[in-house]
Amino acid sequence: MKRQILATLGLLSGTAVMPATPLWAQDAPSQAAEEPQQLGSGYGTASDIVVTARRRDERLQDVPVSVSAFSAAALERSTVQTVQDINTITPGFRAGAEGGKENSAVSLRGIGQVPLGEVSPGVVTYFANVPLPSVGSNIPTYDLASIQVLKGPQGTLFGRNTLGGAVLVSPEAPTYDFGGYIEGTYGRFDYRELEGALNIPIIPDKMALRVAGQMRRQDGRTKNLNGGPDFDNVHQDSVRASLLIEPTDWIKSLTIVDYFRANERAGGLYLYRAQPGVLGAIFGPTEGAYLDAQIANYREIQKKNFYGAFDDGINGGQAYRRQLGITNDTSLTFGNITVRNIFGFRKNRADQMINTGATGPLFFSSGAPFFGSQFSIFHAGSVIQRQYITNELQVLGEFDGFNFIVGGFYNNDRSTGPMGSNFRAFAVGDVDGVPVTAHVANKNYAVFGQVGIDLTDKLRFNVGARYSWDKVNACGGGIWSTYVDRETCDAQAALGLIDGVAIVSNKGQEPSWTIGFDYKPNDNTLLYIVSRRGYRGANVNTPGFESPFTTGGVGCSNPGGACPDLRPYQNTKEEKLTDGEIGAKLSFRSGEARGFFNIAAFYTDYKGALQFLNAQNVGLPFTTPDQPTNGSVAANIANLEIYGVEIEASVSPVRSLTVSFNGAFTKQKVKSLGSVTFGPGVPTPVATEAQVNLPTPSFAGTASVSWTLPFRPADGEIVFNGDIYMTDDFGGQNGEKLPGYALANARLDWRGIGGSGFDLGVYVRNLTGAHYYQSPSVLLANFPTSSVYVGDPRTWGVSARYRF
């Protein structure tokens, strides 16, 4: 039904699009996508949009790949506050919070993030051209110039190799004009936001500084049903300073220092379902029934409190994040040749504690053998302290009928202090969880290049290649009462004891490539075909599996006491992906009317896709020193086909009205699935075709409208923006899907009041107050409970901005 509604809306609009103002062409050749000239009504065509998807300024309609691009004004009109919020305006894109607030589990075209060590995510987010780690990638979107979403494997043009795509976040760069803005917002749940920017020309045409910052506060929007602090509050502070230096017309250097801090409570987890009998199989039918009755009672309370969550003694939980970043982007231009170096340094800390079991306090019966002891299903905690250094060197050339880019990329990331995970799983009594130290160090090297050759004045050939080398080295274990640093872990591992502390390592190397043709018969039409190879590097499961409990010994709580043998899953191999894409980009202008229609169809052959095997229900003792990090191990057992169609389009019949629609259809087929076993006498980990998840929904789309009203009160422009986002059911875990939903959002802006730089705005998100599930936490049939994160309730806000 939802699909039919959206299809009808698309036909009525005559097209489909990005649901807000796109990026507009302007004169600055080096930062075209970072300093867009805006038209208040959103009036224009894709022929005006400039993107940097191929590391040079190009019209969106001239780029032979699927790209979605949004300006700062577009993001504001859709009230985008974090990268996760672009879910509803980008076809084929999904961002969830499976790993908690600090993580943004991004997927494109069915390819997503793997919660394994510090492996490169399937979709990499870049800030100021520097790749971000998966932890901490859900950055705030203040004082931005643009966000671009590139779809399909990347790597022959810049940065890290990826399987699914890339998200390019570009901050506003300094200019040589004094100016800036200040903006305040107040909304539901006592939401308060204050942000601003100041641009200072220091030396005319030679040096300029831009300083920006944001403060966000909000009360908890998820009620703590056990009476403690409410969940899902907001307490964030951000600051950024950018220095532009251009001593000559052929040297340009931009240095950015940014800092972000969030000290918040955890996301509240909704008790989605109870699975009676699971606990009875562990503790016996009598005690199992006693616990199941308590869980059932909590489930009934949960049904009456959609925006509520249970605490189970974690006192609101924790979601602390701190990030420091330093970026330098320097280019030297010699005629048609540009040499560019991009250096990035990031230091992240993230602490988290979540009540994954999603119930309130549970207790055994007063009789033997537990005598009323407290029982906790699952508390998930972690501490992450890491440092990331990247450097990328590029040489670009632009000639008549020919262009090229060659370069090299280096990444080195490691832990900087004690870190690991702390799972309080199936805990009897008031006991602490077992902290399992986990340190992972990655080194990645790559060389890449791509050329474009004009075969005729209409036909162009593009070919690129990349070769990458990956090394991973890890140390971990759970013999300590707290997390320890890498040096302590290495020293313990060197003793050679069978204590669950060991060093594990892996390495690999792999080529990737792109090849394609694009045909442009006229300025308004582009047809293209492209094929690409992407991969995700080899990795390790941590810690080293060496104790009897993880190497097939005895002492586990299975019948006969058999323990799993996890050693065959210590290392993972490369995941490889080959795709094919055909597309068309069509623009039109007729008098005052203008618009565009872009369509792309793709097919993906995905080999060795990692699947996660639950190791929490195989009888490991609570004190096992080498418990698998995150409670599971990954294995390259799935071969998949993913295919689909994406549409983006817009029509402006008059300057004051833009109607838009976008949509993505995505399907998955499991070609084969390897067999898995944890050894004789141990429950076989469940791995069936039905359990292979496609994180992207089979269909999602947005219909929107932007209308500039035909009157100007107080000489100000009034613009209404509204959009409706709909999604089919989407992948949860273990083959189970979460139900689809529809969201309506609206915003009204009164800009340039009295001919000044003063603007007022009011917005409502989730206008109808829809109840929906945003992402899964645990959805396992053989787990006592299932839990999910729910989406935001209806929120509203008013804002005032002054531009000077």
786 versus 43: the higher-pLDDT residue is: 786
Contact 777, 748 (CB under 8 A): no
Rounded to the nearest integer, the mean pLDDT of the chain is 88
Residue 295 belongs to domain spanning? 2-803
**Model confidence at 547: pLDDT above 80:** yes
Q: What is the mean pLDDT of residues 255-279?
A: 95
**Model confidence at 41: pLDDT above 50:** no
Confidence of residue 708 (pLDDT cuts 50, 70, 90): very high
Q: What is the mean pLDDT of residues 747-772?
A: 97
The strand ranges marked E within 698-740 are 699-708, 717-727, 730-733, 736-738
**Model confidence at 700: pLDDT above 60:** yes
Q: Side chain identity at 216, as an amino acid letter?
A: R
Beta bridge partners of 664: 646, 700
Beta bridge partners of 111: 108
Whole-angstrom distance, CA of residue 30 vs CA of residue 53: 13
Tokens of 251: 């040297």
Q: What is the mean pLDDT of residues 422-439?
A: 84
Max avg pLDDT among 47-61, 132-146, 516-530, 557-571: 516-530
Whole-angstrom distance, CA of residue 592 vs CA of residue 613: 58
Q: What is the pLDDT of residue 433?
A: 78
Q: What is the mean pLDDT of residues 2-12?
A: 41
pLDDT tens-digit map of 380-428: 889 999 999 999 999 999 999 999 999 999 999 999 999 998 888 888 8
pLDDT tens-digit map of 445-454: 999 999 999 9
Q: What is the mean pLDDT of residues 576-592?
A: 95
**Model confidence at 15: pLDDT above 50:** no
User: Strand, helix or coil at 570?
Assistant: coil
Number of CB atoms found within 10 A of residue 360's CB: 22
Q: What is the pLDDT of residue 743?
A: 96
Whole-angstrom distance, CA of residue 425 vs CA of residue 377: 6
Total domains in the chain come to 1
pLDDT tens-digit map of 476-512: 888 899 999 999 999 999 999 988 899 999 999 999 9
Whole-angstrom distance, CA of residue 561 vs CA of residue 619: 8
Confidence of residue 119 (pLDDT cuts 50, 70, 90): low
Residue 60's domain is classified under what CATH number? 2.40.170.20
